[in-house]
Structure 1
């Protein structure tokens, strides 16, 4: 059985990708092969990075991507307003965030890993990943987050028949963030995908959340297919569970690894920190954001001489809003 790690990237997230790959080398505690799934064709720097790493490959299989893009387009054709809304917003592609659907290629029978862990590029591995694979011996999908506290980022909670689609007890326990999960190749064969599209067309599509389409559809696919899901935030003992989001400010760093009240994190997700922030930081702009030094350590782990010499005073990555009068003047087009 071939176990491996996937991420999704292009040159826009190059700095995060390098940091992620270095953190896997340092902390995953296993010689896992890694496959970078191409988000789109902006891959010059990604290809060069992959070529330097013997255990990393790049998946840019047009046939696999087309299969899952077509599936996703069929999904959104069943929604009463999604395609029209995105077109009105000026989105030129067939649907919103087409490239994100390439990650579904990990489920394709033509993909390289039988069991896998998927991580967004804006994550850092902080601890061993073998426990995730071990849990896949018993369950179809393994997740580890607290997304169930914010279900409105997964489904349209105003959908009147949401709980007819997903039972409330399952809804509360198994909703997950699509930035980190373990799963298996072949969970969604063609006949299952066709059945899911038929169910969506019969009214289920109203439950999808348009703001995070890939995350919503993936959760729907898992729940509607009645796959077994283990959320380690529920299933591990409380004295083993940690947080994983950059929005948690209490983690402590020791030897460039983060701990939550003395417990080692499995991963850190820089959710809400845009790729532009990482690019500006690595270009030398002195931006402050949570766990910045940990990110910089892994980004330049093999090239410390390339670490930027920061210019100017430290400034927050989220600029404060302009004063009220300035906002009023801008609105009146009296100020640029």
Structure 2
């Protein structure tokens, strides 16, 4: 059975993609084929990078991409006011439409796969995730279940009619990293999901994380066997995975959570431009910056930016002068 890794990316997240690819090679090995699902057509730098990576390809089946694009469109057309609200906020069409392309991995070349957002670095073996897919059809390792408001519309009266409170607090997940299998969502199952959404269930979807809410709905509404390591590992074994956790310890470019090695670190919530700016030489600090820079320049240490002064925090308040320029419309 073919095992592989999918990554959603384009040139905008180029530096993060390189760091992720290098971290997979360093900590999970080269045995897994990797397929880049294009967020959009901006792939010039990505394609140049892949010329030096024999195990990495680009997902080029436009028929599959189109099919899932049509699915996502139907999902949001079923929502009572998504397009209206997005338009009022200056968004044309579906918000972050390219993010929905991650669903293409369910029809891609790998029988069993792990999907990764580009803003991740891998810090350990992924073998145990693939092994768990021998028992379950969907596998995650995160703590999103503690924050359901970023997955479903908690103000919807229909939410608890569709999913029990116990399911909401135990089954929801972050869509940035998951393992699953090819063929879980054939045409018949997709049509069934659309039918339920068109009958009023679409109102439970959370519009500000459009791909994440859909994927959670797809898995939970279909009754697919899922497994979250964060809920099954003992407290002494499990680790965090988010950049928002500030207690991880770094040893030899690996992070540890109370002595346990992290599987991955998700730089969730940090804009891609921040990584681009740092790689271009701007001395901006952010959590676990050194870990990112190590993997970004793993094969190009001479190109790594050298910083001599104290960095400026990425979330530091703007100076009085900058605030004045913004007020005058002279700065963004």
TM-score range, shorter chain: over 0.9
Find the residue that maps to 2:153 and give its secondary structure. coil
In structure 2, the CA distance between the partners of 1:334 and 1:234, relative to structure 1 (3 Å rule), is closer
For the pair 1:196 / 2:154, whether they are aligned, the reply is no
Give the distance between the partners of 2:134 and 2:26, measured in 1 at CA: 25
In the other structure, the counterpart of 2:217 is: 220
In the other structure, the counterpart of 1:124 is: 121
In structure 2, the CA distance between the partners of 1:198 and 1:310, relative to structure 1 (3 Å rule), is same
Gaps of 5+ in 1: none
In the other structure, the counterpart of 2:274 is: 277
Cα deviation digits, residues 220-277 of structure 1 (max 9, x gap): 0000001111010011222210000001111111111100010000000001111000
In the other structure, the counterpart of 1:15 is: 15
Gaps of 5+ in 2: none
Shift of 1:62: 1.7
Q: Give the stretch that moved more between structures: 56-65 or 284-293.
A: 56-65
In the other structure, the counterpart of 1:297 is: 294
For the pair 1:149 / 2:120, whether they are aligned, the reply is no
Find the residue that maps to 1:137 and give its secondary structure. coil
Shift of 1:329: 9.8
In the other structure, the counterpart of 1:95 is: 94
Instruction: Tell me if structure 1 keeps the 8 A contact 2:30–2:55.
Output: no
Instruction: Tell me if structure 2 keeps the 8 A contact 1:73–1:95.
Output: yes
Give the distance between the partners of 1:7 and 1:148, measured in 2 at CA: 23
For the pair 1:316 / 2:313, whether they are aligned, the reply is yes
In the other structure, the counterpart of 2:250 is: 253
Instruction: Tell me if structure 1 keeps the 8 A contact 2:28–2:126.
Output: yes
For the pair 1:176 / 2:176, whether they are aligned, the reply is no
Shift of 1:335: 8.7
Shift of 1:163: 1.2
In the other structure, the counterpart of 2:135 is: 138
Instruction: Tell me if structure 1 keeps the 8 A contact 2:34–2:55.
Output: yes
TM-score (norm 2): 0.95
Find the residue that maps to 2:283 and give its secondary structure. strand
Give the distance between the partners of 1:335 and 1:184, measured in 2 at CA: 50
Shift of 1:96: 1.2
In the other structure, the counterpart of 1:106 is: 105
In the other structure, the counterpart of 2:202 is: 205
Instruction: Tell me if structure 2 keeps the 8 A contact 1:29–1:130.
Output: no
In structure 2, the CA distance between the partners of 1:335 and 1:141, relative to structure 1 (3 Å rule), is closer
Q: Give the stretch that moved more between structures: 159-168 or 286-295.
A: 159-168
In the other structure, the counterpart of 1:86 is: 86
TM-score (norm 1): 0.94
Give the distance between the partners of 2:329 and 2:207, measured in 1 at CA: 35
Shift of 1:172: 1.0
Shift of 1:63: 1.3
Give the distance between the partners of 1:168 and 1:103, measured in 2 at CA: 27
In the other structure, the counterpart of 2:64 is: 64
Cα deviation digits, residues 101-132 of structure 1 (max 9, x gap): 11111001xx1100111111000001110110
Cα deviation digits, residues 149-203 of structure 1 (max 9, x gap): 1100000000012011112222111100000110111111111111101101111
Give the distance between the partners of 1:72 and 1:335, measured in 2 at CA: 38
Give the distance between the partners of 2:237 and 2:35, measured in 1 at CA: 29
Residue among 234, 238, 241 paired with 2:238: 241
In the other structure, the counterpart of 1:52 is: 52
